[in-house]
Structure 1
Amino acid sequence: MSEAIIEVSQLTKQFKSKTAVHKANFKICRGEIFGLIGQNGAGKSTLLKMIGGLMYPTSGEIKLFNRTVKDSHPYFERIGILIEHAGLFPHYNAYENLDLIAISYGLTSREEHINKLLKLVGLDASNKSKVKNYSMGMKQRLGIAAALIGSPDVLILDEPINGLDPQGISEIRRMILELNKAGMTIIISSHILEELSKVATQYAILHQGEVIEHHSREQLLLQCEDRIEIEVEKASSAVPILEQHLNINHYKVISEHVVYIYDSHIENQHIIKSLVENGVTVHSITKHKQSLEQYYFLARTGSEGDSHD
């Protein structure tokens, strides 16, 4: 099992009468891309700020690299963060922005390090254009380079594709996958589950400040896989019929009365006919097709998905 390098336990943040995060519990293992999914206003930024040391929790515990942290802690220095705005200097170019950050870190051999980061994020070190003239995608890439200046073990990205065009989204996605392939652990938040599913390996669903579900990539995709749901008198009696008479092998027994069938070669009427002929009472049968967004917004939060708070 991979080493857990971040663990939060009962993590809570209270702002006067508003609870932004309520008793969050999860762990992130080394080498994962951890996706934090939630609507705007769900508490994602607040949660990430607490993990990154930018905000004190009201209660609860954070462990970084198997050490409990309190207030200012050296382990926060091993985390690179891009939350909300990158804090770039608009009248400086990309190299100059990174050079200022590198100086604040006390880095030597800055030129080589900065040029390597700019190449990594797909920016030209020789480009003297001021950042104020950059596209949104270029600013996001430079912001990621700034978060990487201290060679962190963990990179936190809060809504990095927000406001980007399709090309910009594709560029950020490619960069995230390349960084992860090189061994970096990444935490990325978004309110767009469909896009997050293209990179993340683990997921936590945050709704109104509470972590309501955890899933691996495989578990999440299985929830949204096309399937036929049958409700019968006794699932244990139905399974042999499905296997032997209908050659159905891709199924899952959900409960004593419910079976999910994932094989797509069989029609509903054939299933009903075979089960009834072999003495199995069928209460209902339905075809189920659900997108990732429908699963999150409808099944998990009861909202339509196109509304943001």
Structure 2
Amino acid sequence: MFGDLSSVILGLKRRFIGPERDAGSYRVFTTAFDEVLGKDELSALNKAMPSDQKRSFQEANQRFDTLFMAERVEISAAGAALVRELRQGLTEENRLETVVSFLIDHSGSMRGLRMMAAVLAVEGAVDALAHAGVTTEILGFTTASWRGGKSRKAWRWAGRPRNPGRLCDLRHIVYGEAERIDSRPWQLRMALRQDLLHENIDGEALAWAAGRLDRQAWSRRVICLVSDGCPVDDSTLHANEDRSLLAQHLEETERRLAAEGYTIATLVIGDEVTPRSALFERAVEPEAAGLGLIRLLHRALLTTGDGLN
């Protein structure tokens, strides 16, 4: 670890020599410690889980499987109605040229019922779209640790330059790839692991999700952000004068992607966030989350003129 940090620090010191930067536009201190977890990495992480965390994870899975039977019925019924409407309202070619990416916030505040609501909603939506012949992708985003991780250590050892920008190690997660449709990838249940949930940098996660969707393969690209609030990373916010830089970057990213032809829809689980666009739903419990996500998909796929301005 120290070898990696030393090489990064040398490069950062050269980069930051000269006048200190102002609060300015969005920037990233270093991407050297960012990571993407795919199927193999998730499998290894699952095997390496300590016994106490494994018991907690198993209990969370059991609760998830037994607590929401009635909610699943209602969400499934709404999903079946969406399938009928998609088959009637879109040609088979339209559906084959459409991809929907579900991007799930893995912040610490999503622990417990909120994450269960998110997983329940996404599973129901993915099942419905699979029956309609629409390709889906399932992603998650968080940070690799609390308090900035290796990025913050590198910043401290580089002399703590002012306004470093994003100051944490991103962790992006691929639960199900768009190229290989799997209606319910087993890895998604790992979102119920409390030890995976840390901070959330929504703007960069949204840009990452968009970059995975090839416009040559799909003429219609929809991203559903499932979150419980605004982006937050204490390490970043404490080291920068502009405490709104993460929220502003999210809004700027949404506008840019909308201008590039993406449809951005947001499901907020909680009541902390002001709607940023017409494609917005709010829920405070699992059934409402599932039904809200189905409504969002109906509007995103079957209604025009409902995106960001």
Please, what TM-score do these two structures have when normalized by structure 2? 0.34
The answer to which structure has the higher strand fraction is 1
The answer to which structure has the higher helix fraction is 2
Larger radius of gyration: 1
Please, what TM-score do these two structures have when normalized by structure 1? 0.34
